[in-house]
Amino acid sequence: MKVVRVLHPCPVTLVTCAGRGVDNVLAVAWATPVSADPPMVAVSISPERYSYGLIEESGEFVVNVVSSEMLEAVWKCGSLSGREVDKFELAGLEKAPSEAVKPPRIKGALASLECKVVGRMEAGDHVLFLAKVVAYHVDEEAFDVEKGLWRVEKAKLLMHLGGRNFMQLGDAKTLRI
């Protein structure tokens, strides 16, 4: 059933995780903020995914927000399994050290939210990991930290429409009241 796609487009993220002596990366469109104070996010991941087990065991992950320039890397990270290949290498992604968690950040990401899992909930065919943001990094040319707004014309945020369909957020008109 594709009814959940009425909530698209949504930003594409690359979620990095670590464990079992490896770093892995997974394309995730179902990531959302859930609290401002303390800052918390939730990501929805299928238990069938290799990354699910790594996050379940380590209790940590990094949500990396990416631009449309990373579309090919996103597709590879969402189409292949880290059980079989090194997705960082195959997708041409460079790792950057995190401050507060073991999984690496992605160099060149527009933003990275370092997260520690504080809860989980089964949600049908996925599990929702609830996590506290313990450190963050942003490209300040793409994100105005003071205003808390994307500079969409510079960020070129990659948005998922569903399936193999994506769009670049950046040509949209900002509406204000």
Q: Which CATH architecture has domain 3-169?
A: Roll (2.30)
Q: List, for residues 53-92, the tens digit of each pLDDT value.
A: 999 999 999 999 999 999 999 999 999 998 989 999 999 9
Chain centroid to Cα 33, Å, comes to 11
Query: Is residue 106 classed as helix, strand or coil in its secondary structure?
Result: strand
* Predicted TM-score of the model (pTM): 0.93
Classify 29 in phi/psi space as left (phi over 0), alpha (psi -120 to 50) or beta.
alpha
E strand residue ranges, 124-156: 126-138, 143-144, 149-150
DSSP H or E stretch at residue 79? helix 71-79
Domain ranges of the chain: 3-169
User: pLDDT for 109-152, tens place per residue?
Assistant: 999 999 999 999 999 999 999 999 999 999 999 999 999 989 98
3-state secondary structure at position 19 = strand
